[in-house]
Amino acid sequence: MNTSAQPHNRKVSFGAVLVAEIAKLHRSLVVLLSAAVPGFVLAVSLVVTAKQGADLATLGSSTAGFWAFAMMPLGITALSVLLAQIEHGSRGWDHMLALPGVAERIFIAKGLIMWLVSGVWAATLLIGMFIQINLTELVNPDLFTGVADYSLLSGLLFKMWLASFLLGIIQLFVALWFRSFVVPLALGIGGTFAAIATAGSYEGMYFPWLMPLSMLRSDSAEAEFSLWIGVIGGIALLLLMQAVMQRKRW
Amino acid sequence: MHCLSTHQLTKRFGDHVAVDAVTLAVPTRAIYGFLGANGAGKSTTLRMVLGLLKPDSGTISYLGNDLSSGPRPLIGAVTDSRGGALYDHLTAEENLRLTCRLIGSPASGIAKALEMVDLSASGNKRVGAFSTGMRQRLAIARALLGNPRLIILDEPLNGLDPSGIRQMRALLRMLVGELGITLIVCSHLLDEVELIADHVGLMHEGRLIHQSSLKQLLKDRSRLIIQTDFQDRKKLATALAPLGSSCDIGPDETFVVNDPTSDGAPEAANRLTAMGARIFRLEQDTAKLEDIYHEYIRAAA
């Protein structure tokens, strides 16, 4: 150990904070959640198609719809709670924020982790569907009709992921602000149920919990509007969250 | 040079003055016991030192550098007395590696830090399975990363069993003695602070009501209590006054020598015997930090 009297003045990089945030997920419940969320969608899709078969052209959009409507918002709710509780549960905020340069970066890093993990879910779902459809066709070639358009499905899942940014940051902001997991959980479940009630409405494209589902709107202008609101709103809220949270007294 | 000093440091929350013009002087390579009741302002003061709160006024100087300007230096902190603010799902090494990444310190220091706190054998174990003592020691190992010259410890002895307390005491002394680190220790366990601290600062209702060397503080409050059949009090005072800073008549006709010299008791016995006095009682009354603490708090209140 160095015993010099010089104070430590190394600057922490954003990359280092991001890598540290990823390292915190190791062996955490986020790993289990990441298997469970896309896994549940795939399981539901398998159960439905195994009994009655499906047209592969519509299977993609119906699976993506279920993903965007229910499992993605609920998964993001659970993810936000887990990401926040890693810090709340360990009472680690003081230690973390006292490290030079960390307070100015950590909340943006957490927001990006949130988004990246939900992106991994979307990718897992796409790969899982590819494997599931091909394996099912091997076992029962007559089960499916039509041709699966993976290019269309991947584009749809990608847009849904982008549009979910605002929803994800809202959930994370609330989960970080409140030490209790009850508030973000109630918000996420409430938001998802409110999305069910407003799903068919024009105003739904303004509702963060419906923005991923809006990618399935027949009016492409409305879908695009939702996408941009989701992305730009998410970035703006992420920056606001960083500014507000680094001043919060824990 | 002081390792840490504050000048007129003040923090208000609305109308409440949490820290009122506190001027701390923490000497280098020493253990500074920072004492006070809950809500006295200790945590708020230290949170300002750690950069977690912004002072309303006053300055903080660390190793001669003003903390209000320039990049913040690394100050080690063990902030949570209950669990050390560690990630239970990670191993001890993984917890330390996280901090290494965040402070840009090489991971090669992890093994040394674990060795110092006697946790080398537990580096690969998950922290969730650690005892309170192990967690506290791991939190100290983490605070050592990056070689900070100052570590702030909040209640490091809380929840430890007697052997854990002993181990922690030795560890803290080692950090100061061998590594030359300065420690600020917040604790309510005054007996323990008395055993480890070199200096103490007493906070009460946001104000620093006393700070000094602990040795000097205890010496100033120690007394020789003498009971004798010698009736001439004036002659007695003349003979015994040089053995301390002052003399008083205590209760039950006892004669009291305040702040006696190190050989005050045997010397008093010699002088009394030479004067032909019979000694009924000769007692060295060593002051306790706990009594002094309460005395100061009463006076401040």
What's the maximum distance between 2 C-alpha atoms anywhere in chain B? 75
**B82 near A CB under 8 A:** yes
**A99 near B CB under 8 A:** yes
CB B213 within 8 A of CB B198: yes
All residues of chain A having their beta carbon less than 8 Å from the beta carbon of residue B179 are 1, 3
CB B205 within 8 A of CB B42: no
Q: A237 φ, ψ to 5°?
A: -70, -35
Structure tokens at B70: 């320039």
A112: pLDDT strictly greater than 50: yes
Q: Which of B69, B102, B142 to mutate to test the interface with A (most CBs of A within 10 A)?
A: B102
Distance CA A175, CA A190 (A): 14
Structure tokens at A11: 């600057």
CA distance B37 to chain A (A): 20
Report which residue type is found at B242. Answer: P
Distance CA B37, CA B31 (A): 19
> Which of B50, B70, B147 minimises the CB distance to A1?
B147
Distance CA A39, CA A53 (A): 20
SS3 A200: coil
SS3 B137: helix
Q: What pTM does this model have?
A: 0.85
pLDDT-based confidence at A5, cuts 50/70/90?
A: very low
CB A203 within 8 A of CB A194: no
Share of chain A above pLDDT 70, in %: 96
- B 107-136 near A (Cβ less than 8 A): 109, 112-113, 116, 126
CA distance A142 to chain B (A): 47
Can you tell me which residue has the tokens 């999305």? A195
How confident is the model at residue B181, as a pLDDT? 96
Distance CA B36, CA B269 (A): 39
How confident is the model at residue B68, as a pLDDT? 81
**CB spacing of B102 vs A92 below 8 angstroms:** no
CA distance B33 to chain A (A): 20
What are the C-alpha distances in Å from A167 to residues A18, A76, B174, B269?
A: 21, 8, 51, 83
Q: Which of B72, B100, B126, B135 to mutate to test the interface with A (most CBs of A within 10 A)?
A: B72
Q: B156 φ, ψ to 5°?
A: -70, -15
**A7 near B CB under 8 A:** yes
Tell me which residue of A93, A109, A21, A29 sits closest to B128, measured CA to CA: A29
Q: Please state whether beta strands B150-154 and B76-78 pair in parallel, antiparallel, or not at all (unpaired).
A: parallel
Give average pLDDT by consecutive 10-residue segment, chain B, 301 residues: 94 95 96 94 93 93 87 87 82 95 92 93 95 91 93 88 90 94 93 94 95 90 88 86 85 84 87 90 88 90 78
CB A25 within 8 A of CB B167: no
How confident is the model at residue B81, as a pLDDT? 65
Q: Where are the alpha helices (DSSP H) in B222-257?
A: 233-240
All residues of chain B having their beta carbon less than 8 Å from the beta carbon of residue A30 are none
All residues of chain A having their beta carbon less than 8 Å from the beta carbon of residue B87 are 24, 86, 90, 92
Share of chain A above pLDDT 90, in %: 69
> Which of B53, B65, B85 minimises the CB distance to A7?
B65
CA distance A7 to chain B (A): 6
What are the C-alpha distances in Å from B77 to residues A247, B23, B32, B50?
A: 19, 21, 14, 8
Q: Where are the alpha helices (DSSP H) in chain A?
A: 14-24, 29-52, 56-66, 72-90, 93-98, 106-139, 150-163, 165-177, 182-198, 220-245
**CB spacing of B77 vs A9 below 8 angstroms:** no
All residues of chain A having their beta carbon less than 8 Å from the beta carbon of residue B109 are 1
What is the DSSP secondary structure assignment for residue B74, as one 8-state letter?
P
How confident is the model at residue B252, as a pLDDT? 75
A2: pLDDT strictly greater than 50: no
**Mean pLDDT, all residues of chain A:** 91
Which residues fall within 8 angstroms of residue B46, CB to CB, at 6 or more apart?
B34, B152, B154, B184, B186
Structure tokens at B212: 């000094």
Which residues fall within 8 angstroms of residue B149, CB to CB, at 6 or more apart?
A5, A7, B3, B28, B63, B180, B181, B182
> Which of B71, B85, B89 minimises the CB distance to A92?
B85
All residues of chain B having their beta carbon less than 8 Å from the beta carbon of residue A5 are 28, 63, 149
What are the C-alpha distances in Å from A224 to residues A163, A164, A227?
A: 9, 13, 5
CB B176 within 8 A of CB B196: no
Mean pLDDT of A162-182: 96
**B62 near A CB under 8 A:** yes
All residues of chain B having their beta carbon less than 8 Å from the beta carbon of residue A110 are none
**B242 near A CB under 8 A:** no
How many residues comprise chain A? 250
- B 16-55 near A (Cβ less than 8 A): 28, 47, 50-53
Please classify residue A3 by burial: count the beta carbons closer than 10 Å to its beta carbon, then call 0-12 exposed, 13-18 middle and 19+ buried: exposed
The predicted-structure confidence for A190-205, as pLDDT tens digits, reads as follows: 999 999 888 878 888 8
What are the C-alpha distances in Å from A91 to residues A18, A94, A169, B83, B148?
A: 20, 7, 22, 8, 22
**Beta-sheet strand order (sheet of B255-258):** B246-249, B255-258, B223-228, B279-285
Can you tell me which residue has the tokens 């061998």? B178
Q: A234 φ, ψ to 5°?
A: -65, -45
How confident is the model at residue B84, as a pLDDT? 67
Distance CA B114, CA B93 (A): 8
How confident is the model at residue A201, as a pLDDT? 85
All residues of chain A having their beta carbon less than 8 Å from the beta carbon of residue B101 are 16, 19-20, 23
Distance CA B20, CA B58 (A): 10
How confident is the model at residue A4, as a pLDDT? 43
Q: Which of A33, A95, A106 to mutate to test the interface with B (most CBs of B within 10 A)?
A: A95
- A 15-54 near B (Cβ less than 8 A): 16-17, 19-20, 23-24, 26-28
How confident is the model at residue B173, as a pLDDT? 94
Checking phi first, is residue B202 left (phi over 0); if not, alpha (psi -120 to 50) or beta?
beta
The predicted-structure confidence for A65-109, as pLDDT tens digits, reads as follows: 999 999 999 999 999 999 999 999 877 888 899 999 999 999 999
How confident is the model at residue B247, as a pLDDT? 85
Q: What angle do CA B51, B53, B58 make, to 5 degrees?
A: 85
